[in-house]
Amino acid sequence: MARCRTKGGKRMKQMKISEAVVRRLPIYLQFLNELNKREVQTVSSQDLGQRLDLNPAQIRKDLAYFGEFGRKGIGYDVVYLIEKIRQILKLNQTLHVALVGAGNLGHALCNYNMYMNDNMKIMAVFDALPSKIGTHINSLTVRPMQDLKQLVDEHNIRIGIITVPAVEAQNVANQLVEAGVEGILNFAPVILKVPEEVRIHHADFTRELLSLAYYLDYEGEESL
């Protein structure tokens, strides 16, 4: 659902952008924000590539999918490129988020409250445990699951974050889908099934940890 330009500059919708490209955009944005904070005005694909361990040609190509953001002989204007990437990722509208699971991890995420992402806002927190309901996390009151649909509608919530234990995650996902969210970020260590029109991303750190383990050097050389 990206918009690109034909040679003539006319806009052309729907030119399939690969997932790999989309996943790099937040990385670019993160580093560009750092550069901006350091008041760096301009950056080349060379510089970016060096810092991010990516091929400069790849970076140029990634950005070129969405428009001509750079200047030949000069590089990219940091502020301008930040603005453009924010547009691509639709970060100029504030995205409303519901968080389900007021446990430790849920608390952590609320505290973050996307402090660096002014563009995403947790609007409501839910939990199934009666003991949790009514308690406060920052300025939010933990709500029972029955209120989910109503609050999703009311606050125009488009994303759900799942921070419940693994056994409940699928059930919660179903309820989020039912309530009408368009995307889910799942922290529980299980594979969830959702209708294909709902986008699901996994933030399951156990996966990261396990794949990390693979890359550790052998110590006690063992055979399979």
Partner DNA sequence: TAGATTGTTAATCGATTAACAATC
Closest separation between CB of residue 126 and a copy of itself, Å? 17
Residue 128 or 185 having the CB closest to a copy of itself: 185
Q: Each residue of 109-147: b (16+ CB within 10 Å) or e?
A: bbeebeeeeeebebbbbbbbeeebbeeebeebebbeeee
Q: Is 11 helix (H, G, I), strand (E, B) or coil?
A: strand
Long-range contacts of 183-190 (CB under 8 A, 24+ apart): 183/158, 183/159, 184/159, 184/160, 185/159, 185/160, 185/161, 186/162, 187/101, 187/105, 187/161, 187/162, 187/163, 188/162, 188/163, 188/164, 190/166
Query: Should residue 79 be labelled a site residue for a copy of itself when binding is judged by CB under 8 A?
Result: no
Could you say which of DNA, a copy of itself, none residue 72 binds, taking C-beta under 5 to 8 angstroms by partner kind?
A: DNA
Asked if residue 220 belongs to a known ligand binding site, the reply is no
Query: Of the listed pieces 124-132, 142-150, 171-179, 186-194, which binds a copy of itself according to CB under 8 A?
Result: 186-194
**Spatial distance between the Cα atoms of 121 and 172, rounded to a whole number of angstroms:** 20
Footprint of DNA on 153-172 (CB under 7 A): none
Q: Which residues pair with 204 in a beta bridge?
A: none
Closest separation between CB of residue 146 and a copy of itself, Å? 26
Could you say which of a copy of itself, DNA, none residue 108 binds, taking C-beta under 5 to 8 angstroms by partner kind?
A: a copy of itself
Query: Should residue 166 be labelled a site residue for a copy of itself when binding is judged by CB under 8 A?
Result: yes
**Spatial distance between the Cα atoms of 49 and 114, rounded to a whole number of angstroms:** 27
Asked if residue 103 belongs to a known ligand binding site, the reply is yes
Q: How far is CA 31 from the centre of its chain?
A: 15
Residue ranges that bind a copy of itself, judged by CB under 8 A:
1, 3, 11, 22-23, 25-27, 29-31, 34, 51-52, 66-67, 84, 87-91, 93, 95, 103-105, 107-109, 111, 114, 116-117, 120, 158-159, 166, 182-183, 185, 187, 189-191, 193, 199, 201-203, 205-218, 220, 222-224
Contact footprint for DNA (CB under 7 A): 7, 18-21, 43-46, 54-58, 60-61, 63-64, 68-76
Annotated binding site for NAD(+): 101-106
